[in-house]
Amino acid sequence: MSVERDRSNLPPLSLHVPEPKFRPGDAVDFTEIEVPPAGAQRRPDTAEKADQFHDLAYTLVRVLDDQGNAVGPWDPKLDPDTLRKMLRSMALVRAFDERMFRAQRQGKTSFYMKSSGEEAVSVGAATALDYEDMCFPSYRQQGILLTRGWSLVDMMNQIYSNKGDRLQGRQLPIMYSVKEAGFFSISGNLTTQYPQAVGWAMASAAKGDSRIAATWCGEGSTAEGDFHSALTFATVYRAPVIFNVVNNQWAISSFSGFAGAEATTFAARAIGYGIAGLRVDGNDILAVYAATQWAAERARTNQGPTLIEHFTYRVEGHSTSDDPTAYRSAGEPSAWPLGDPVVRLKQHLIALGEWDEERHAAQDLELAEMVKAAQKEAEKNGILGHGMHQPFETMFEGVFEETPWHLKEQAKQMLDEQKAAGL
């Protein structure tokens, strides 16, 4: 029997709808973001249990201070040659992005996504990982391929979907797949790469291999079910995998609050699963390198997975199809308190006496010319606007190891119809 209650004295329920702090036309003030001093965060032993350093999921692991010095226990103490290579890789990513962005605006390809401001996330990790480790990227990690020395022309062929495209035009531009460089196929379906990375890592462990997996997603994608399924499997089986969450503050046009950023950090999600969680200054490439190296050692010594939140900022639009001025203040990129990752590493090298502005300018020019030459070479294979570049029959290939009879029949019918139509 139901009992009626007098609810007249109860306040009405209300629904909280997250709202970004700044909209177009607003002045920007990031003073609410807590930026701890560089070097202030302790570095646990890689064998320490994950429940002993929950604090690292709520702070920011930082190495480079405001003067460009590397300080504290997370300083990886890299030699100048390695630092210069990382700087060059980040500058190459930026030059590549600029050239391909212009190619899209010229109608040579349909789509492109820049990683401006986030270069340290991919370059730092790729430098710290072994070449044989398997990467399961999202769509803003082109820096992994470029750091691993992959061909610019091959990447551009994929962007143009031309006759040199190893994927035969079957993927959206920038959704590369390079088995030889340990770069798993990028998917436009968000976070599918997370359970794939865990499965690969579990297989590596089951075989007694020494290779680990690393995967990346944006902070908005942590709301996907695949994210949580992956973390469940990883924690149960202690899979040797590194989960990277790139918190660049914005999804397509939704700010990070819609993924839960108002409640806690994304690194804190590791705590609920009992795995190691780090929150890292994503614009400090030395911090990214050090955190990845630390997580990789945990994975290789059977200590289980690590989740790293890279706290960074998406400077450009989500893609060439996006206009960020429609939903965020134009002052945000320049006001971002963690600075520019390229500038910060450059300043560090200059402070060490291992670099200068003249060499940096010369390198930028060299890389711009190198990317331009690669573009000319790739365009010899055609561009998107020149029509189909692959034989029609290839649409029936690449799914089955042996093409079944009914697809062979359909392919023959299609080719006969083409021939009859004079195509």
| Rounded Cα–Cα distance for residues 392 and 388 (Å) | 8
Using CA of residue 166, residue 171, residue 176, residue 178, what is the dihedral sign?
A: negative
What's residue 384's pLDDT?
Answer: 86
Answer yes or no: do 353 and 402 share one domain.
Answer: no
Answer yes or no: do 255 and 401 share one domain.
Answer: no
Strand 241-247 relative to strand 276-281, pairing: unpaired
What's residue 74's pLDDT?
Answer: 98
Residues 6+ apart with CB under 8 A from 315: 114, 116, 117, 118, 333, 336
What's residue 15's pLDDT?
Answer: 96
What's the mean per-residue pLDDT of the chain? 95
| Rounded Cα–Cα distance for residues 332 and 316 (Å) | 11
Answer yes or no: do 317 and 419 share one domain.
Answer: no
Residue 79 lies in a domain: yes
**Residues pairing with 307 in the sheet:** 243, 277
Is the pLDDT higher at 397 or at 423?
A: 397
| H-run or E-run covering 102 | helix 80-105
Structural domain range at position 312: 50-386
Contact 220, 259 (CB under 8 A): yes
Distances (CA, A) of 398 to 11, 56, 83, 334: 61, 45, 41, 46
Residue 45 lies in a domain: no
Give the domain CATH number at 133.
3.40.50.970
For the segment 59-90, what is each residue's pLDDT rounded down to a tens digit? Answer: 999 999 999 999 999 999 999 999 999 999 99
Total of domains in the chain: 2
Answer yes or no: do 407 and 300 share one domain.
Answer: no
What's residue 1's pLDDT?
Answer: 59
For the segment 119-168, what is each residue's pLDDT rounded down to a tens digit? Answer: 999 999 999 999 999 999 999 999 999 999 999 999 999 999 999 999 99
Answer yes or no: do 273 and 416 share one domain.
Answer: no
Answer yes or no: do 396 and 372 share one domain.
Answer: no
Answer yes or no: do 376 and 397 share one domain.
Answer: no
What's residue 2's pLDDT?
Answer: 63
Residue 267's closest CA among 243, 301, 294? 243
Count, in order, helices (H) and strands (E) of the chain: 12, 5
Contact 162, 381 (CB under 8 A): yes
Answer yes or no: do 340 and 406 share one domain.
Answer: no
What's residue 125's pLDDT?
Answer: 98
Answer yes or no: do 419 and 380 share one domain.
Answer: no
Length of the chain, in residues: 423
| H-run or E-run covering 278 | strand 276-281
- pTM for this entry: 0.95
For the segment 175-222, what is each residue's pLDDT rounded down to a tens digit? Answer: 999 999 999 999 989 999 999 999 999 999 999 999 999 999 999 999
What's residue 159's pLDDT?
Answer: 97
Answer yes or no: do 271 and 378 share one domain.
Answer: yes
Answer yes or no: do 159 and 249 share one domain.
Answer: yes
Residue 1 lies in a domain: no
Quick check: 117 pLDDT over 90? yes
Contact 364, 372 (CB under 8 A): no
Answer yes or no: do 374 and 405 share one domain.
Answer: no
| Rounded Cα–Cα distance for residues 137 and 204 (Å) | 18
Residue 6 lies in a domain: no
Residue 7 lies in a domain: no
